[in-house]
């Protein structure tokens, strides 16, 4: 699964380091109040001043970049604190009591630096869509990688998908595989939906056995499967980090996909169609033996009711509903 460019922050740091430019990683380790970015948010900085990512909403980045460039010179990691009393934090939108702590680490050599071997292993795991955590103990500047099943605290953070500090002083940065969005039906709505989903950090896959619909000319660069929807879903094996949307409102295509989706642990299933169309769909699914509990998992008509009319607005409403299902 290909990550969005703005989510390839460790990858950028490793590339800059390997190119001889030097690189540092800045990571939010703790937040209080109205901090704009959550723990685990990252900013990569090259020795030539390039950057990718964000640790706040604005001017804090300037101070972090200055510290990162100094860290590349002295090879020492440090933790910075920005709060309401700091003018830079005030300018960045932390005026309502917000405070953030940011870990800044030079990549490469040095007793306090982030070893490039650890960063490379993390990047390899991300490329292979394997969950992995980077565990840092600032008191000693020791670090190690942890996979699921190796530590209860790390496992809890994998499950919640949240980085953070532990009571024992360790900072656990979890790197789960990207969330997935599987869309059945290469209709007009799917075009903005895939774009919005990718921007939100999802790895999208489009399913449509109709060659005229699911073409690269209509969806350039997207992953398109031309299998029958239930067969494609069986191969994709949706998990608890997967959202599924059916858009054809053709029972021959949607119904097999819906049955396959309801047999999976996918956290969201949304189906396009009017209330009348959905009522008929419910009758067919019940006749096929699906339980009321399974049928209740369907979000239909799909999307939050925001008065959407255009394909782009409908796609926005769908992505908003997916986000609500994920975060609440």
CATH of the domain at 266: 3.40.50.720
Could you tell me if 233 and 314 lie in one domain? Answer: yes
DSSP character for 180?
Answer: E
**What are the helix and strand counts (H, E) for the chain?**
11, 15
pLDDT at residue 321, rounded to an integer:
98
Residue finishing a domain among 175, 201, 228: 175
Could you tell me if 169 and 189 lie in one domain? Answer: no
pLDDT at residue 287, rounded to an integer:
94
pLDDT at residue 159, rounded to an integer:
86
Give the integer Cα–Cα distance in Å for 327 and 95: 25
Residue with structure tokens 């972090």?
64
- 318 sits in which H/E element: helix 311-327
Q: Taking a C-beta distance cutoff of 8 angstroms, is the pair 46, 22 a contact?
A: yes
pLDDT at residue 59, rounded to an integer:
61
pLDDT at residue 62, rounded to an integer:
87
pLDDT at residue 38, rounded to an integer:
86
Instruction: Quick: pLDDT tens for 207-257.
Output: 999 988 999 999 999 999 999 999 999 999 999 999 999 999 899 999 999
Predicted TM-score (pTM) above 0.85: no
Q: Domain of 97?
A: 5-175
Give the integer Cα–Cα distance in Å for 287 and 61: 57
Can you read off the two tokens belonging to residue 314? 């409908």
Give the integer Cα–Cα distance in Å for 257 and 251: 9
Could you tell me if 146 and 196 lie in one domain? Answer: no
Can you read off the two tokens belonging to residue 67? 């510290």
C-beta neighbour count of 63 within 10 angstroms:
18
Of residues 37, 35, 32, the one with CA closest to residue 55: 37
Residue with structure tokens 């990571």?
27
Could you tell me if 157 and 221 lie in one domain? Answer: no
Could you tell me if 171 and 183 lie in one domain? Answer: no
Question: Strands 171-175 and 164-165, how do they pair?
Answer: antiparallel
- Classified as helix, coil or strand, 324 is helix
Could you tell me if 145 and 226 lie in one domain? Answer: no
Could you tell me if 158 and 277 lie in one domain? Answer: no
Could you tell me if 11 and 41 lie in one domain? Answer: yes
Can you read off the two tokens belonging to residue 36? 């704009």
Tally of domains in the chain: 2
Q: Could you say which residues of the chain have pLDDT below 70?
A: 1-6, 33-36, 57-59, 84-98
- Classified as helix, coil or strand, 44 is strand
Burial of 227 (0-12, 13-18, 19+ CB in 10 A): middle
Residue with structure tokens 């939108």?
93
Give the integer Cα–Cα distance in Å for 22 and 18: 8
Could you tell me if 74 and 107 lie in one domain? Answer: yes
DSSP character for 270?
Answer: E
- 176-207 in b/e form (b: 16+ CB < 10 A) is bbbbbbbbbbbbbbbbbbbbbbbebebbbbbb
Residue with structure tokens 């049955």?
259
Strand partners, 46: 23
Residue finishing a domain among 175, 202, 229: 175
List alpha helices for the chain, DSSP H. Answer: 9-18, 60-74, 87-91, 116-127, 152-160, 190-199, 229-236, 251-262, 275-287, 292-295, 311-327
- The full DSSP string for 202-221 is EEEEEE-S-TTTS-TTTSTT
Instruction: Enumerate residues 6+ apart whose C-beta is below 8 A from 18.
Output: 116
Could you tell me if 217 and 296 lie in one domain? Answer: yes
């Amino acid at each position: 699964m290909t990550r969005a460019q703005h989510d390839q922050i460790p990858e950028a740091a490793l590339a800059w380091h390997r190119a001889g430019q030097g690189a540092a990683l800045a990571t939010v380790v703790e937040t209080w109040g109205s901090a704009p970015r959550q723990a685990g948010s990252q900013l990569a900085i090259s020795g030539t001043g390039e950057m990718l990512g964000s640790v706040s909403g604005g001017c804090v980045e300037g101070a972090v970049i200055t510290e990162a460039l100094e860290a590349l010179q002295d090879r020492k990691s440090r933790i910075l604190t920005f709060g309401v009393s700091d003018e830079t934090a005030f300018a960045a939108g932390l005026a309502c009591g917000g405070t953030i702590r940011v870990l800044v680490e030079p990549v490469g050599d040095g007793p306090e630096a982030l070893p490039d071997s650890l960063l490379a292993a993390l990047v390899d795991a991300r490329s292979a869509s394997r969950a992995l955590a980077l565990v840092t103990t600032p008191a000693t500047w020791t670090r190690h990688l942890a996979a699921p099943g190796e530590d209860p605290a790390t496992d809890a953070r994998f499950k919640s998908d949240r980085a953070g500090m532990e009571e024992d002083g360790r900072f656990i940065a979890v790197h789960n595989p990207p969330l997935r969005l599987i869309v059945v039906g290469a209709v007009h709505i799917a075009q903005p939906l895939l774009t919005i989903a990718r921007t939100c950090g999802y790895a999208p896959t489009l399913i449509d056995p109709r060659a005229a619909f699911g073409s690269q000319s209509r969806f350039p660069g997207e992953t398109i499967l031309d299998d029958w929807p239930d067969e494609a879903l069986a191969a994709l094996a949706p998990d608890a980090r997967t959202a599924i949307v059916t858009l054809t409102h053709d029972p021959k295509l949607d119904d097999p996909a819906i049955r396959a989706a309801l047999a999976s642990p996918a956290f969201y299933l949304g189906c396009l169609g009017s209330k009348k169309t959905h009522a008929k769909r419910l009758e067919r699914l019940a006749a096929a033996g699906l339980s009321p509990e399974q049928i209740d998992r369907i979000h239909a008509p799909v999307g939050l009711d925001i008065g959407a009319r255009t394909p782009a607005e409908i796609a926005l409403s769908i992505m908003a509903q997916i986000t609500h299902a994920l975060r609440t």
